[in-house]
Amino acid sequence: MSGNSPPLKPIQPYLWEIPQDYRKDMRVPARVYASPEMLDQIRKDRALHQLVNVATLPGILQYAIAMPDIHEGYGFPIGGVAAVSWEEGVVSPGGIGYDINCGVRLLTSSLPLKEVEGRIAKLAEEIFRRVPAGVGRGGQVRLDRRSLDRVLERGAHWAVEQDMGLPEDLPYLESTGKIEGAQPEEVSRHAKERGSDQLGTMGSGNHFVEIQYVDKIYDLETAEAFGLFDGQVVILIHTGSRGLGHQVATDYIRLMLQNLKRWGIDLPDRELACAPIQSPEGQRYLSAMKAAANFAFANRQVITHLIRQAWKRIFGKEGGGLRILYDVAHNIAKIEEYTIRGKRLRVLVHRKGATRAFPPGHPEIPGAYRGVGQPVLIPGSMGTWSYVLAGTEGSIQQTFGTTCHGAGRQLSRRQARKSITADQLKEQLRRQGILVYAHSKRGVTEEAPFAYKDVNQVVDVVHQAGIAKKVARLRPLAVVKG
């Protein structure tokens, strides 16, 4: 694959460009954030070719952008960012992903590891018992049609109204856990059926609940603003909109493919299926996407409630509570404004495997964090570090307020399964002091740490490039997954 890979021209340290004249149909250049050492790995799949295809989308502005965790996805590469004109551009479900509002939430405790080390296994077992995980697995919350529509409209606010959260949780969620403009009627009956019993469930794949502790602080002032301290026990949640979001993507990709000729859109790859934003179909998809995103916010809120119950059962009153540091999406499209060539423009930013990273002073950041920047949560692969970053002004200038979202896969799930058994991997992790609780052996082997890029390198790139800054590093203690 590398021999046919598009040419990458160095622009500045950690930034490379595929020129617009590489292919006649490109409307803008394509840019990649990476270290020189990462380029060979990036060239091994079709991700760069997909990025070039993204650069051909009608209405795309400035650049098609890839983060250092880039790898091949559906239509767009995972780790891809594209901002398109609100008036003249298109919306592409492949630029958001099938798992709409897959995202991460970090819960912080007031306890240092040294005080609770002997009870981590019990806590993990209790979370494993309370939070359902696995392909298609349902949970305790059963929703009738009317209740599900309320979830799609109100997101995490619905869960708080049902006593599965606190009002003070909501300011610490991206968009306060509820994206305005969601229309449940644009979500198909089949999608709703798939989601009716999945609220409060983790799913499979790379989704997890991980008990961690803060093992290094890089920026003390920002860490203190975020409520982080050295040795602190924290819990990271990674999941999204489950079968409901997947079905929304499936439904609208099919609809868009049927109408491309009518809109006069010619695509280099049918996986880039899209619709003009201002078309009825484009508006319907955005309304359904917002509803699915709200389902994901509610899902993480219900899981938070279940984890808080587990925490209280193991630690009692002396354990204190679990506070939400932040919740951020990394598969979503958002309407935002940016200055492009001297003009203030309204754009639709597609973020697929990419995280919003707004700088200090931005009005969408919770007041407690506004002086230091938006928290950015970067999960590592199972058994490796995760990171807390903070957004910077550089992200606004370079990447439409965006940074990376994780380590980025380098081996397929099939390759990972062939490389190690679940028992071998669990034993390796146990020797590192990391416990694994999983509902399937396949779910363990597919997510082996060596199946992913080095998250330390990925985070170093965005830190050095100035699009996010390192605040703290988190080390895993126990992993709960499907």
Catalytic residues: 405
Q: 221: buried, middle or exposed (CB in 10 Å: 19+, 13-18, 0-12)?
A: exposed
Q: Extract the tokens encoding 372.
A: 């230091």
How far are the Cα atoms of 4, 7, 50, 257, 279 from residue 57, in angstroms, in the given order?
22, 20, 11, 14, 16
Alpha-carbon distance of 23 to 10, in angstroms, equals 18
Dist CA 60 CA 348 (whole Å): 9
3-state secondary structure the chain: CHHHCCCCEEEECCEEEECHHHCCCCCCCEEEECCHHHHHHHCCCCHHHHHHHHCCCCCEEEEEEEEEEEECCCCCCEEEEEEEECCCCEECHHHCCCCCCCEEEEEEEEEEHHHHHHHHHHHHHHHHHHCCCCCCCCCCCCCCHHHHHHHHHHCHHHHHHCCCCCHHHHHHEHHHHCCCCCCHHHCCHHHHHHHCCCCCCCCCCCCEEEEEEEEEECCHHHHHHHCCCCCEEEEEEEECCHHHHHHHHHHHHHHHHHHHHHHCCCCCCHHHCCEECCCHHHHHHHHHHHHHHHHHHHHHHHHHHHHHHHHHHHHCHHHCCCEEEEEEECEEEEEEEEEECCEEEEEEEEEECCEECCCCCCCCCCHHHCCCCCEEEECCCCCCCEEEEEECHHHHHHCCCEECCCCCECCCHHHHHHHCCHHHHHHHHHHCCCEEEECCHHHHHCCCHHHECCHHHHHHHHHHHCCEEEEEEEEEEEEEEC
Which residues make beta-bridge pairs with 232? 112
Close Cβ partners of 435 (under 8 Å, ≥ 6 residues apart): 120, 121, 124, 429, 477, 478, 479
